[in-house]
Chains A and B, each alone.
Chain A
């Protein structure tokens, strides 16, 4: 038996013994943190078991609490988890964004301090990039950090900070070099949210939900040792982290049959049949809708296969050169998917709440509204197209 086969068997046995039955059903994913909330006691057990093994972050080095798995081993782990329907044990910006950036840019002390709590789900991180005056033009940001002894004193405002009201800490872009050219005066700073100098105010989205906030810094403090990647060198860290963020968001394009090799049904056809009916040949009776669904399914597969191919082409942990393309295409595709659901559902797709609509219908409507942010968060579609044309295609600026 090869090492990988042995690994597969051991993994299967371990999952069988340790994954609680309740966690083999679909449901919400835990986000951990200091004041962690669990929707079921088994969620906590599952997180602890996986955290201990480092399998919340399977490919991170074991010296920082990660699983230390190779790309191939991780693939097996994901397949085995998929086979029993195991839920992801932990979701977090720490795993998807901050961790990979720390692994690349942080010093040894910082890695030792910050990575293991991410693996175990003990710290909930949020992202402090955008400001009221700095969205796409992120590098124009103006939140200031001034050194004062062993601390930086931070003043300014962030906006669209997802989960700022729930998070323990924030990874933040701050201006430390006001005289330097805009890209060369930015630092990457880790700040504790639990202090008098930090306040948050929730913002309500068109979907009715309120997952993000305005974040205000009034003489907030952060230890100088928590500046990552060097003074005024934060833009390099920031850009790399954005690539990881884009890869994370682009995975949305995979929902609904995007995984070209396995799932090949998006659910769109079922929704179409259910709401508009079928003809004598069992085909969706609205021909125009049927055509759009097929187009969407074909593009889902093509996109899923592309993500797979790009994955094969890139090393573990390295951002792929195709990240901007994936973010652009994946999010636009996901938006279209919801538009098609609404189109199929007719008036049942445009209810807000209360009687007359099923829970599922109302959820789709709210999710449709949420998808509108997909092509904005993490860098807008237009910004991704700029990145592709400049960095991938080498088209000149001036």
Chain B
């Protein structure tokens, strides 16, 4: 566990830092966050410092002669607030007032990023050290410049709010030091601030893009325009398992505004056949029909006028058939073991009591508010790509491969993203835009409608869990978790989450079958459903054992203490702390009459969370009125933004577990738009009360960890309120199930 006490850090500055003076006067520090966050990549990428220029750095601090500071944030914003919180960390160490800081979105120049395949997650957790070091390095250089000017030791100088002061009380502002500072060597070692001295980290800061957002400035991919740009609407197979046979574009071409109708897929399909390029697995193997038009509406209209025939290429799946297959897997013997402690079978055989339950979830589409879209302009000497994608390096490399071009010719700009939730990790729309532009020799923007987006997604697959536990002499002796999923299974450290280490005989087994429906990561992959399954199970287990639900969890955590298993990264101590605080803050057990509570504690994405949901019965139906959420995510960089994330995660978790329903019939999704797919809305939203554990530990994830527990807290509260336990999401699939006669049947 890394703490943040005052420490002097030597780091490989050459791998990611470079400074110089600006032509206009001032200091520029470039740093490469990709490399800084991924030391293992640094080793691979032999960096020749002499040959680098500033394009090699994806983030910069610029300090102008007037002392104004510009921080180029390398991270595209998907709504998680990093464009505000990451620069806050730099500004803190740099010792400048936040009001003097201007944040700009940096451009990813893929020409220089051929080796940073790691991509993806550059969260606060990964950036924490690198960002602090960068800010501190700049600060140290400015102090060194001042010290040199005064002819004193740098250690005699202090710095505050962009002004350096010496022992005699003389002062110089950063603006007057930048030119000298830019000539200096980058210091090998810098001292980081102590958390108790923070003046920016831990304070509320409004989203840096707020003015642009509330005035509707163009920021999103969908807003991007270029000279001569045409709009494209893509017709993909209506059912998973179908392929394009033929099409007739006569009527489509007659739609005013339609420029052309083309067939694409040849190039993407060729790429798809290269097994090794597994990031293309999300591409459809069918050809597609593209209507190109002067504006979006004409393209959409033209697409509706297309006449197409599709042929069945592989089995067309239905929800019913998927359910059967998944149940078959759960009942079968084709599991892969992911963790095995002790002997669960023996524990079950010797038990006084055994509890076994099965939990089921549907597919879920991501439904980013901004539908998938991308701009491409493929010309003889360059491939220009612009839009919302979370894996720019993958997309750039894939497009270069697909078009037989050098990745150095790809220039990719990331835009602000109207939500991600995992969907924009998969750049299928980037390939489409590039293939279309390449065929047309024109700048083009591919725009998905909501229907395109929802019916040709990269879904969270339906999953089923079966959990079995044994009790002997009042103790939990065995725990066996089985997962049946589609296309892939839980990965990473998930099998080592709680209650691993807390129960001697513990086993996790997984199985999946391959489907032609594209599936992928969805906000908090696997745990977004697993948390509900396990935490409802614990409640029921406590009921069977006739013990207190909270005490049972605390006791298990007590038992988990002192293990020396590196795979187990949850902290029993931190988990106990969030549980105790949630009990106090939610008034657990002391709720007024008519309020029924459900409890969950959960660890994922390196954060510890406890949530309590309050449910009341209104007109015979249970209603979620309030959620109390306690989070230990280490130091909270920007509490104002962090609370937004927590609330969003909790409400999203409630919404999808209550209403999120998505299935297939003949390979076709059962919902295409928000009329059939229900998302949580204002009147269904409970009050959310957020508390952070105050500590000085390194910050951890916040965009995801509050989501998984929410469904479990609601399910447990619904049980308390109605006496009914539900084993299937969405909870409100059959609202009649919950109808009570006002007076709950407690059981």
A is bound by B: no
